[in-house]
Amino acid sequence: MPLSWNEIKSRSLAFSKEWGDECSEHAEAKSFWDGFFNIFGISRKRVASFEEPVKKLANKQGFIDLET
């Protein structure tokens, strides 16, 4: 069942309070994205994955943080 706009708003406010002072992007990336998708009632695992390998310029290997 889809979330109501009031529930999304409530979750958004709670999320912004929880993450407002965070300063360790790399250490908290997965938790941040899991929480973000939860605002909308979506499991992050259903729509996105972390650290997907990509080819960078000059055929170097790299990773992107989150791929949807």
Tens-digit pLDDT profile for residues 22-58: 988 778 888 999 999 999 999 998 999 888 899 999 9
Q: Which helix (H) or strand (E) holds 68?
A: none
Question: Which of these, 56, 57, 38, lies nearest to 48 by C-alpha position?
Answer: 38
Domain assignments of the chain as residue spans, ordered by start = 5-67
Q: How far is CA 16 from the centre of its chain?
A: 13
pLDDT of residue 31: 92
Quickly state the pLDDT bin for 65 (edges 50, 70, 90).
confident
The pLDDT-based confidence of 13 (bands split at 50, 70, 90) is very high
Alpha-carbon span 66 to 30, nearest angstrom: 9
Q: What is the pTM of this model?
A: 0.78
